[in-house]
Amino acid sequence: MSRAMIRCPESGRMIYTGVNLEWDEVAASRFVGEQLACPRCGATHAWNENDIELDEDGCGD
């Protein structure tokens, strides 16, 4: 499984959504009204399946 990440619009850095998926699951998923308290900038970011980037090696940045 890969970690579903989104990009913080303030810092430009990746943040973990708390969700683990594979690419075929991302394409079939619908995340509506998801929000995440960002550890990078302190703001709350809304996100959906179109914002996901998978961290396949589990490292992040």
Query: Where exactly are the structural domains of the chain?
Result: 2-55
- 38-51: string of b/e by CB count within 10 Å (b at 16+)? beeeeeebebebeb
Each residue's pLDDT tens digit, 6-26: 999 999 999 999 999 988 898
Residues 6+ apart with CB under 8 A from 27: none
What is the value of pTM for the model shown? 0.83
Query: According to the model, what pLDDT value does residue 50 have?
Result: 92
